[in-house]
Amino acid sequence: MLTSGKTKFFPGYEIIEGFHNLYKLIYSTKSMPAPRLRSRSLRKIFRRVPGGRTLIHFKRKKPKAARCGNCGSVLKGVPRELPYKMRSMAKTKKRPERPFGGVLCSRCMRKNIIDKVRQ
């Protein structure tokens, strides 16, 4: 569902609401953005359009990288994406295909398996 239109409360702005928390806003230095767009949880993306105007797109920030449950290092092979993008990804793209994939890093996994075998 895509809605657009001039706002009577914010002159000089045309707000277009799109899918997945993306807001487009015609850039104007004279007026303030809508209150819902003033949040620090949204990042600003300046886009140049063919008409010569600069648009500000407000988009959600990406979440932090996944970390190892044992040592706390950043997990390799686990994407840093928004939940709606992760939902549409295949399971093999979300985490490495090995024991404890997506939970432990390869070093901790190796130590864990060796300790279990030695017991």
Look at residues 18, 45, 60 and tell me which one is the last residue of a structural domain: 60
Answer yes or no: do 73 and 116 share one domain: yes
Largest interatomic CA distance in the chain: 72
Give the neighbor-by-neighbor strand order of the sheet with 42-48: 3-6, 14-17, 23-26, 54-60, 42-48
13-31: average pLDDT:
54
The C-alpha atoms of residue 77 and residue 105 are separated, in whole angstroms, by: 10
| Residue 33: strand, helix, or coil | coil
pTM of the model: 0.62
Same domain, 54 and 72: no
Residues 36 and 66 in one domain: no
Say yes or no: 28 and 78 in one domain: no
CA distance 29 to 68: 44
CA geometry: angle at 93 spanning 87 and 98, to 5°?
Answer: 125
Whether the pLDDT of residue 18 is over 60: the answer is: no
Range of the domain at 24: 3-60
Q: Is a pLDDT exceeding 70 seen at residue 9?
A: no
- The residue from 14, 39, 60 where one domain ends is 60
Q: Answer yes or no: do 48 and 86 share one domain.
A: no
For residues 39 and 92, state if they share a domain.
no
Per-residue pLDDT, 37: 84
> At residue 77, does pLDDT exceed 60?
yes
80 close to 64: Cβ distance less than 8 angstroms: yes
Average pLDDT for residues 93-100, to the nearest whole number?
Answer: 92
**pLDDT average, residue stretch 67-83:** 94
Residues 45, 18 share a domain: yes
Among 60, 87, 105, residue at a domain's last position: 60
- Do residues 56 and 21 share a domain? yes
At residue 117, does pLDDT exceed 60? Answer: yes
> Is 22 in contact with 59 (CB distance < 8 Å)?
yes
Number of domains the chain contains: 2
The candidate with the shortest Cα–Cα distance to 95, out of 113, 81, 75, is 75
Together in a domain, 48 and 33? yes
